[in-house]
Structure 1
Amino acid sequence: MRLRPPDDPAVPSGAGRAAQPVVAPAAAAAQAAAPRPSRRERWTATARAAAPRSGVAAALGLAMAAAFPPYGVWPLSLVAVAGFALVLRDRTVRQGAWLGFAFAFPFFLWLLVWLRSVIWIAVVVLSGVEALYLVLMAALMVLVQRLRAWPLWCACLWVTQELVRDRLPFGGFPWGRLAFANTASPFTPLAALGGAPLVSFGVALSGTLLAAALLRAHRLYRRTDPRTLRAVLTGAGALVLSAAVFCAGLFVPVHTNADGHVRIAVVQGNVQQPGMHFLGRPMKILDNHVQATLKLAADIKAGRVPKPDIVLWPENSSDLDPFTYPQAYDKITEAVQAVGVPVLVGALVDGPDKDHVQNEGIVWDPVTGPGAHYTKQHPVPFGEYVPFRKQLTKIVPMLNEIPRDFYPGKTTGVMQIGPARLGDVICFEVAYDGIVRDTVNAGARAIVVQTNNATYGRTGQPEQQLAMSRLRAVEHGRAVVTAATSGISAIVAPDGKIEQRSKEFTQQVISADIPLRDEKTLADRVGAAPEWTLAMVGLLSCAAAVAIGRFERTRTAKGQTQQ
């Protein structure tokens, strides 16, 4: 690993200490006599010079957002990565950081626009925070672009950025990962080998290699590269490698053979109204799910539909704690006994103390009543709990609308539900690699995602979350069933194909036979090792760029001293 030689036209400015121009004495005197521009004039000149690239970076950020659902134009993720790498060429680290913000802020602003259902300021603040990770990534990409094989190091830095952003702060926020824009693309099968991080790496590597090929073609067109044959071969090689990475996923086998089947029914009871106040009057959401289940029971009795083995209700399908409110307990029991099979019920349960509540999936048996349960492990900060509550509520009184913090669960959601051993994952948890992987490794033969998207209905958020379910299906070789209060409920096959899906804000029951699988994918076995390896390679490449740059400057300075 070394810097490009000085005679290589691909060397960006800033790769080493620039040669000082020879200034005639008269010209030097004139420069000294000229008035120095004011700070405002310098800032204005800098802004004007940066405006074209900043505009291109912002346009690329918007293109990246369009790669994600609900638009889902996944090739734009490849275009955005390639274009962003080109925008960073020949920039300083500081300029790269600014361009990173110019790219990332519009990207997240559009991607997370669904948060406007809570408050618009949340969209702006979260977009700004998330953009900071890409600011740092862009600055580091400027460094590693000075090295040989820079497309590889840049791709590793995409993984590094996602690794940190997925974990920090407060457990991270994984929205906007390259993998989640590529849940139905040639890159998707890579998830079965190394999970979502390998998909992100594949997209980033293919994009940066494409950028390298375009850069070389541009220099050939402008006749700025004296080594024509070498330039042609280098550019063609980069293009071939980009295409090879693009097609690599097509050769990854996606196993879908079943070790058994279970017939399920997903009940989408619907809500009284979308938005922040979707709950309406107490018992309304529970009544909706009870009535839909009673209708299902009547259809089964009349022979209009086959009897399922289990019934799945979504997150918050009971808007009252059934262990605190007997009327809720009785309503659930009535529906479960009518359908005659175990029902997975979603409810908020008080405890373990007066200051906390637990978001749970509860297996409700028609004979024995409530039994096994799963408590959501990863509550959403500022949505389901308030970090530094005493201090922040004084500054942001709106946080008092979250009266009690959600208490995190300590175990995976693997539960025996009727004849099947299923893994429960609640809402945003589907975005976190470790939670889903641990659930599968603990013995889940299929995955159930209980979710309540009523607050974000018709904003694009339900489509973004469903895309994550598609990726998880391929990553773990499991059928994924999404049960939502107001939509989108769906059946996803182990190959990521959506077999059935509901409309938003309708009462609907989806019935299907889903495959049960015991075989684990390579991604399940290797865990987070590929992600950490790629991330460390990215950071080491940055360290190498800094060390080599210092060595080159020292050598140049010694040479000038000797002359």
Structure 2
Amino acid sequence: MSDSAVVEPGVGTSTSREADQAGIAPPPPGRLRRLRGSFRTPSGRLAWARLVLAGVSGFVLHLAFPGIDIWPLAPVGVAGLAIATRGVSKKFGALLGFVFGLVFFLRLIPWIGIYVGALPWIALSITEALYLAGMGALLPRAWKVRGGVPGLLLVSGGLWVAQEAVRGRWPFGGFPWGRLAFSQADAPTAALASIGGAPLVSFAVAVSGTLLAWGLVTGFTALRSRALPGALLPAVGVALALGVMGLGALIPLPTDGDSTTRVAAVQGNVPRAGLDFNSQRRAVLDNHVSATRALAQRVATGESEQPDIVLWPENASDIDPYINADAAGEISDAADAIDAPLLVGAVVQGPGDYVSNTGIVWRPGEGAGTGDDSTYVKRHPAPFGEYMPYRSFFRLFSDKVDLISKDFVSGDELRDNPVGVMRMGDVKVGDVICFEVAYDGLVRDSVRAGATMLAVQTNNATFGLTDESVQQLAQSRIRAVESGRSVVNISTVGVSGIILPDGTVVERSGHFTQDVLEATVPLRTEQTIATRVGEWPEWILSALAIGLVLGTALIARRTQIS
């Protein structure tokens, strides 16, 4: 019995007899026949089986991410989609990819709509699923590409990388959430980030999943053909997949540095979760001031070590300290009490009708710093969260757009400290604000510009008691490995963490509690391979995959013509 007859019954091999056996009459001629032919599904039962497999696989992939955090399930989810798309047409592959992506994102990011309703959550999930649909349209070609198993692995892994690359850049700067790499903070594969960044981690997960799929498919085919030695192929696929996932264990990661610094990260908490945290802005500022003063008292009594730097989160002061003397006085008192430079996350008015999400270095005895080494304006404001594109158009769907009364301006437009490296005593801190941690280039720019550690200032109050904060903490851990830098992920409400350059979390807070995290962390100047090579692994893997797919299609077309 041929391979196509067993495993690929949807590739133009079905007959009227097969349809009769499935209990389904052959389709009538005309438009319906052409439609069914384009999807290459021999029976309704087979089509539904593939659709169910795609949906279940998307659900399984979400289980790998923080919140559930069963990271070995990431390649299992990839394998399910690979099997579902084997032997189908481009159109049906796209549908399978869409179903996979929709289930995945609906489960991964429900926090998007927790306070604004289901529409943004569903709309964003559908949008992100469309990228998976594009990948699904090409995945069937991965099984047909020349080069055998290596070609299959290169194309499948490269398509995942390419999909994530496009999705993370377009439109409105993209939304990189849900990359395979971000499920791997606790896995050996995380170490690969030090060589090829997050794209190489995603590639390894995708290759591992494809190996699982290859083992299952070829093993099943061998059994149906009574080629009993082939029954071992599933075990071979599992063994190879485990080998790929374990490669990172061979990569040494740094745990020390050129020097160290004592850091304190203040999680002040908010009176209430939700969108109205802005109306509590004085209480939020007071919380961070009081927690810092309490730390100063513990230092004075010897209960805590004197910190070299103190970090506050995004939105710690939504009262502009440049124009509000009372807020400035409170922050100065806190900096003077702790006697260390303080990084404040503030909302600053201007320019014009805009506002800016700003990190400000506040020095004891001096106050707010000025210049490129003392302020950083968030370069990538979140669309629909910090600014509203096409406001009049989207108002047709929801009046929630007017919750954003003033748009945030991008730091790239202001050209103030475009890479976010802040001088805090002897420490050069690369400031990354909130969702910016998900973008490879923004983090890499700070490290290349000389940052010896990274601070991720974030505010998770608008997402309630959801998995958003732990998903973001995992991204910060991947960035620590990728950059070889200590990272402090500090939130207004948690979950905050202090992370060593090897991704280890040495201090971690709870959710919606006031806390001060303290640790001595290494400072490093040496750049990882990933920092030096930048985007090249992403582009090369994507280009090879697309090139092989196009080449295979061209060869197939020429063969048909001849």
- TM > 0.5 fold call: yes
Distance 1:303 1:459, change over 3 A: same
Amino acid across the alignment from 1:292: A
SS in 1 for 2:55: helix
Deviation at 1:256, TM superposition (A): 2.3
Deviation at 1:55, TM superposition (A): 1.2
Distance 1:11 1:512, change over 3 A: same
Deviation at 1:368, TM superposition (A): 1.4
Whether the aligned pair in 1 keeps the contact of 2:10 and 2:42 (CA below 8 Å) is no
Distance 1:235 1:547, change over 3 A: farther
Which of 464, 477, 484 is the matching residue for 1:470?
A: 477
1:320 aligns with 2:319: yes
Whether the aligned pair in 1 keeps the contact of 2:3 and 2:221 (CA below 8 Å) is no
1:162 aligns with 2:169: no
**2:192 equivalent in structure 1:** 190
1:520 aligns with 2:520: no
1:269 aligns with 2:268: yes
> Mapping of 1:116-515 within 5 angstroms?
116-117=113-114, 118-147=116-145, 148=148, 149-223=151-225, 241-353=240-352, 355-371=353-369, 372-393=374-395, 395-410=397-412, 411-515=418-522
**2:559 equivalent in structure 1:** 552
Distance 1:521 1:168, change over 3 A: same
SS in 2 for 1:264: strand
1:87 aligns with 2:84: yes
Output the CA distance in 2 between the equivalents of 1:554 and 1:336: 76
Output the CA distance in 2 between the equivalents of 1:333 and 1:54: 59
For each residue in 1:410-446, what CA deviation from the matched residue of structure 2 results, as whole angstroms up to 9, or x when unmatched? 3011111122111110010000000011111110111
Whether the aligned pair in 1 keeps the contact of 2:6 and 2:224 (CA below 8 Å) is no
1:63 aligns with 2:60: yes
Deviation at 1:144, TM superposition (A): 2.5
Distance 1:395 1:241, change over 3 A: closer
Output the CA distance in 2 between the equivalents of 1:18 and 1:214: 21
Output the CA distance in 2 between the equivalents of 1:35 and 1:163: 42
1:111 aligns with 2:137: no
Amino acid across the alignment from 1:374: Y
For each residue in 1:34-75, what CA deviation from the matched residue of structure 2 results, as whole angstroms up to 9, or x when unmatched? 9769969x9899655422221121111111011101111011
Distance 1:35 1:244, change over 3 A: closer
Distance 1:430 1:35, change over 3 A: closer
Distance 1:235 1:46, change over 3 A: closer
Q: Which moved more, 1:173-182 or 1:109-118?
A: 109-118
Whether the aligned pair in 2 keeps the contact of 1:363 and 1:373 (CA below 8 Å) is yes
Deviation at 1:104, TM superposition (A): 1.0
**2:547 equivalent in structure 1:** 540
Who wins on radius of gyration, i.e. which is larger? 1
Output the CA distance in 2 between the equivalents of 1:201 and 1:459: 28
Whether the aligned pair in 2 keeps the contact of 1:279 and 1:319 (CA below 8 Å) is yes
Output the CA distance in 1 between the equivalents of 2:400 and 2:122: 16
SS in 1 for 2:473: helix
Q: Give me the CA root mean square deviation.
A: 2.6
Whether the aligned pair in 1 keeps the contact of 2:349 and 2:355 (CA below 8 Å) is yes
SS in 1 for 2:262: strand
For each residue in 1:277-327, what CA deviation from the matched residue of structure 2 results, as whole angstroms up to 9, or x when unmatched? 223434110011111111112222222212111111110101211112221
SS in 1 for 2:345: strand
Whether the aligned pair in 2 keeps the contact of 1:490 and 1:502 (CA below 8 Å) is yes
Distance 1:35 1:368, change over 3 A: closer
Whether the aligned pair in 2 keeps the contact of 1:272 and 1:279 (CA below 8 Å) is no
Amino acid across the alignment from 2:334: A
Output the CA distance in 1 between the equivalents of 2:480 and 2:556: 45
For each residue in 1:314-371, what CA deviation from the matched residue of structure 2 results, as whole angstroms up to 9, or x when unmatched? 1010121111222111111121112121111110001121x21110110001111111
SS in 2 for 1:133: helix
Deviation at 1:81, TM superposition (A): 0.9
Q: Which moved more, 1:146-155 or 1:411-420?
A: 146-155
Whether the aligned pair in 2 keeps the contact of 1:272 and 1:280 (CA below 8 Å) is no
SS in 2 for 1:481: strand
**1:559 equivalent in structure 2:** none
Output the CA distance in 2 between the equivalents of 1:260 and 1:533: 36
**2:20 equivalent in structure 1:** none
SS in 1 for 2:358: strand
Distance 1:58 1:21, change over 3 A: closer
For each residue in 1:105-135, what CA deviation from the matched residue of structure 2 results, as whole angstroms up to 9, or x when unmatched? 0100000011122321111110000000000
Output the CA distance in 1 between the equivalents of 2:139 and 2:453: 40
Whether the aligned pair in 2 keeps the contact of 1:9 and 1:224 (CA below 8 Å) is no
Which segments of 5 or more consecutive residues in structure 2 lack a partner in the other structure?
18-24, 413-417
Output the CA distance in 2 between the equivalents of 1:553 and 1:45: 23
Deviation at 1:240, TM superposition (A): 5.2
Whether the aligned pair in 1 keeps the contact of 2:143 and 2:152 (CA below 8 Å) is yes
Deviation at 1:257, TM superposition (A): 2.5
SS in 1 for 2:359: strand
Identity of aligned residues (%): 45
Output the CA distance in 2 between the equivalents of 1:483 and 1:20: 62
Deviation at 1:552, TM superposition (A): 2.3
Output the CA distance in 1 between the equivalents of 2:74 and 2:113: 24
Deviation at 1:395, TM superposition (A): 4.9
Output the CA distance in 2 between the equivalents of 1:114 and 1:176: 13
Deviation at 1:13, TM superposition (A): 5.9
Distance 1:101 1:46, change over 3 A: farther
Distance 1:279 1:55, change over 3 A: same
Output the CA distance in 2 between the equivalents of 1:189 and 1:165: 23
Output the CA distance in 1 between the equivalents of 2:526 and 2:32: 65
For each residue in 1:505-561, what CA deviation from the matched residue of structure 2 results, as whole angstroms up to 9, or x when unmatched? 111111111110111110011000000000111111221121122122223xxxxxx
Output the CA distance in 2 between the equivalents of 1:450 and 1:509: 14
Output the CA distance in 2 between the equivalents of 1:7 and 1:503: 54
Deviation at 1:234, TM superposition (A): 7.4
Deviation at 1:11, TM superposition (A): 8.4
Which segments of 5 or more consecutive residues in structure 1 lack a partner in the other structure?
1-5, 23-30, 556-563
Output the CA distance in 2 between the equivalents of 1:492 and 1:35: 63
Deviation at 1:7, TM superposition (A): 8.0
Amino acid across the alignment from 1:461: E
Distance 1:292 1:20, change over 3 A: closer
Whether the aligned pair in 1 keeps the contact of 2:9 and 2:42 (CA below 8 Å) is no
Whether the aligned pair in 2 keeps the contact of 1:321 and 1:349 (CA below 8 Å) is yes
Whether the aligned pair in 1 keeps the contact of 2:437 and 2:456 (CA below 8 Å) is yes
SS in 1 for 2:277: coil
Output the CA distance in 2 between the equivalents of 1:79 and 1:391: 40
Output the CA distance in 1 between the equivalents of 2:553 and 2:152: 14
Deviation at 1:248, TM superposition (A): 1.5
Deviation at 1:215, TM superposition (A): 1.2
Deviation at 1:232, TM superposition (A): 7.2
Q: TM-score, length-normalised on structure 1?
A: 0.89
Whether the aligned pair in 2 keeps the contact of 1:13 and 1:90 (CA below 8 Å) is yes
